[in-house]
C-alpha cells in the first residue's frame, strides 16, 4: 500500500460528459502529480501541484483541469469527454521540491468513455 | 530539457535468463534515478533508486548502477522468474525542482 488513495477505481461514462477524479496523497506529502496512461502510450505527465499551487504543467488538454485543496487532496476534472480520453489516470505524491524523494503512486482510476 | 530514454520492448525471456533493460538519461544538475515496476492491473511501484553517481540501487534481485560518465542506469537481474513479468519504467527526478521524467516503459514477459 503506497498510501496514495484514488477514487473511483473504475468509471464508465459517455462522450460529452464530465467526470472528476479524486486523489488523497500520502500523509506528509505536499506535491501531487497526475499522469495519464493509455494502452498504446506510456505515462503522460499532466500536471503537478505543490501545497495548493500549480507547479508544472505537461500535456494536459484544455478540457482538463485540476486543483489541490488546502487539505492537500487533489481533483482532476475531465470535461467534454471523447473516446480517446479512455485511459488509466494515476495520481502520485512526493514530499515536494527541494527533497530528493521518490514518487508514490495510487492504484489509478480507469476511465472508459463510450 | 531533462529526459529518459529506455530500451523498447517487448522483451520475452525464459525463466532463469539474465535480464538487462537499458536506460540512458539527459539532465542538468544532479538528478536522482529510479526504476519503477507496474504489474498487470496495478499502479507503479518503486523498484529501486540511486541518488548520486556510482550509487547502486538494489531490490528483489534487481540492480542498477548510476553511471554519470555514460549517463546510464541500466536495470539487471541475474535470473528472472515468471513473477517478474511486468512493465518497467526508468525515471529521473531533477534536483531541486523535483520534476519527474519517465521513460516509455519496457514490457517484460518471462515464460516457464
Taking only the tens place, the pLDDT of each residue in A22-65 is 999 999 999 999 999 987 668 889 999 999 999 989 889 999 99
Q: Identify the helix (H) or strand (E) that includes residue A63.
A: none
pLDDT band at A70 (very low <50, low <70, confident <90, very high): very high
% of chain A at pLDDT higher than 90: 77
pLDDT higher than threshold 70 for residue A92: yes
The verdict on B100 touching A (C-beta cutoff 8 Å) is: yes
Residue B34: what are its φ and ψ, rounded to 5°? -140, 155
Angle at B63 between CA B32 and CA A30, to 5 degrees: 35
Mean pLDDT, all residues of chain A: 92
For residue A80, name the pLDDT band (cuts at 50, 70, 90). Answer: very high
At B75 the pLDDT is 98
Q: Strands (DSSP E) along chain A, which ranges?
A: 5-7, 10-13, 19-24, 31-37, 43-50, 53-57, 64-68, 74-78, 87-94, 104-105, 109-113
Cα A54 to chain centroid distance, Å, stands at 13
**Would you call A2 and B96 a contact, using CB atoms and an 8 Å cutoff?**
no
Work out whether strand B106-111 and strand B86-94 pair parallel, antiparallel, or are unpaired: antiparallel
Q: How far apart are the C-alpha atoms of A114 and A14, rounded to whole Å? A: 5
Is A39 or A105 the better-scoring residue by pLDDT?
A105
Query: Is B103 within 8 Å of chain A by CB?
Result: yes
Cα dihedral sign, A24-A88-B26-B69: positive
**Residues of B in Cβ contact (< 8 Å) with A56:** 97, 99
Preceding amide of A8 cis, omega within 30 = yes
Cβ pair A88, A41 in contact under 8 A: no
pLDDT at res. B99: 79
Cell reading at B70: 555514460
- Which residues, given as ranges, of chain B have pLDDT below 50? none
Question: In this prediction, what percent of chain A has a pLDDT beyond 70?
Answer: 95
Distance CA A112, CA B96 (A): 36
- Predicted local confidence at residue B89, as pLDDT: 95
Residue A106 reports pLDDT greater than 80: yes
Q: Which residue of A has its CA nearest to B9?
A: A42
Residue A98 scores a pLDDT above 70: no
Q: Is the pLDDT of residue A71 over 80?
A: yes
Asked if residue B32 lies in contact with residue B49, where contact means CB atoms within 8 angstroms, the answer is yes
Q: How far is B91 from chain A (nearest CA, A)?
A: 10
Amino acid at each position: 500500500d503506497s498510501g496514495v488513495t484514488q477514487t473511483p477505481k473504475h468509471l464508465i461514462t459517455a462522450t460529452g460528459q464530465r467526470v472528476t477524479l479524486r486523489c488523497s496523497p500520502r500523509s506528509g506529502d505536499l506535491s501531487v502529480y497526475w499522469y495519464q496512461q493509455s494502452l498504446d502510450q506510456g505515462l503522460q505527465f499532466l500536471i503537478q501541484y505543490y501545497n495548493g499551487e500549480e507547479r508544472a504543467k505537461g500535456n494536459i488538454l484544455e478540457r482538463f483541469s485540476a486543483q489541490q485543496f488546502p487539505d492537500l487532496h487533489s481533483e482532476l476534472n475531465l470535461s467534454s469527454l471523447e473516446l480517446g480520453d479512455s485511459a488509466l489516470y494515476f495520481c502520485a505524491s512526493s514530499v515536494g521540491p527541494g527533497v530528493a524523494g521518490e514518487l508514490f503512486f495510487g492504484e489509478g482510476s480507469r476511465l472508459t468513455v463510450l | 530539457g531533462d529526459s529518459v530514454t529506455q530500451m523498447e520492448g517487448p522483451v520475452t525471456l525464459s525463466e532463469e535468463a539474465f535480464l538487462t533493460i537499458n536506460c540512458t538519461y539527459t539532465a542538468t544538475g544532479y538528478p536522482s534515478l529510479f526504476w519503477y515496476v507496474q504489474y498487470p492491473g496495478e499502479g507503479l511501484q518503486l523498484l529501486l533508486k540511486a541518488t548520486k553517481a556510482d550509487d547502486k540501487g538494489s531490490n528483489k534481485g534487481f540492480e542498477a548502477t548510476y553511471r554519470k560518465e555514460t549517463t546510464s542506469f541500466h536495470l539487471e537481474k541475474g535470473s528472472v522468474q515468471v513473477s517478474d513479468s511486468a512493465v518497467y519504467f526508468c525515471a529521473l527526478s531533477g534536483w531541486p525542482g523535483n520534476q519527474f521524467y519517465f521513460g516509455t516503459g519496457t514490457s517484460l514477459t518471462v515464460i516457464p
